[in-house]
Amino acid sequence: MDRMLYVAMTGAAQTLNAQAANSHNLANAATPGFKADLHQFRSMPVLGEGLPSRVYALGERPGVDHRVGALQTTGRELDVAVEGDGWIAVQAPDGSEAYTKRGDLQVSVNGVVTDGAGHPVMGDGGPIALPPFEKLDVGSDGTVSLRMVGQDATSLAAVERIKLVKVDPSRLEKGEDGLFHLRGGGEEGADASVRLVPGSLEASNVNAVDALVQMISLARQFELQVKMMETAKSNDAAANQAMRIA
């Protein structure tokens, strides 16, 4: 009886965690460059004194879905999509260097270039900060060119270059900040072969329909596990009643 109750209880708890991860993916179905979190279940033995005669359910995130999202043409001068295995280097909240596919760039009131989530974009010498300008152009190699205030329409000067890197996804891990970091820490060197597609964005690789179906499936799975716990309780009550009669 206790085995059935313990497996159902841990299964229900881990199903809620899986539902949270799936809901997070669904909430980011429209976030540019978002990579879906994967989730899986497995049974684990309960270790302690004696033989491991009990098991419990464990939910875990084995990794991230690195499939490339669809390319969406926006025509916006600050939107860029990264081709292939390339990444845009940004500054994480803790000050370290991290990597993202999110290319909906913004320029703050202080001239700092950030991604759509507010993380400063890295250049050759650190976060990119731009002087006042009238027009901005981002080249396919990451070069940022500006037409300064008061200059004629044909004057464009290259002032910075976005740091682009090429990293095997197996060397990256997704942090709690939603950015990708090198396993073990450190920074990757810039790679001149990485190209951008200006005026475009890489869409999220979350399939909203699949995520909705998964949400329904997990809800039904949770209900089944709750019913198993109720059945274990009923069986326990019936066994206690039979023992009193005896």
185-193: which pairs have CB atoms within 8 A and are 24 or more residues apart?
Answer: 185/96, 187/89, 187/97, 188/89, 188/97, 188/99, 189/165, 190/89, 190/124, 190/163, 190/164, 190/165, 191/86, 191/164, 191/165, 191/166, 192/141, 193/166
pLDDT of residue 2: 66
Do 188 and 238 sit in the same domain of this protein?
no
Cα(76)–Cα(74) distance, rounded to whole angstroms? 5
Q: How many CA atoms lie within 13 A of 145 on its CB side?
A: 13
Task: Return the pLDDT at 42.
Answer: 81
Length of the chain: 246
Last residue of a domain, one of 184, 202, 220: 202
Question: Which pLDDT does position 133 carry in this prediction?
Answer: 86
- As for how many domains the chain has, the answer is 2
- The whole domain housing 54 covers 2-65+206-245
**What pLDDT, on a 0 to 100 scale, did the predictor assign at position 112?**
95
pLDDT number for residue 174? 93
Q: Please give the model's pTM, rounded to 2 decimal places.
A: 0.82
If asked whether residues 187 and 87 sit together in one domain, one would say yes
Q: Could you say which DSSP state residue 66 is in?
A: -
Q: What is the largest CA-CA distance in the chain?
A: 100
DSSP string, 151-172: --TT--EEEEE--EEE--GGGE
One domain for residues 107 and 33:
no
One domain for residues 222 and 164:
no
Q: From 12, 206, 16, 172, select the one nearest 97 (Cα to Cα).
A: 172
Res 246: pLDDT? 55
Q: What tokens were used for 100?
A: 């993202």
Amino acid at 175: G
Contact 129, 112 (CB under 8 A): yes
Task: Looking at the structure, tell me whether residues 52 and 150 fall in a common domain.
Answer: no
Q: Determine the 3-state secondary structure of 189 from DSSP.
A: coil
* Low-confidence residues of the chain: pLDDT under 70: 1-2, 50-51, 53, 150, 153, 245-246
198 and 109 belong to one structural domain: yes
Same domain as 169, residue 128: yes
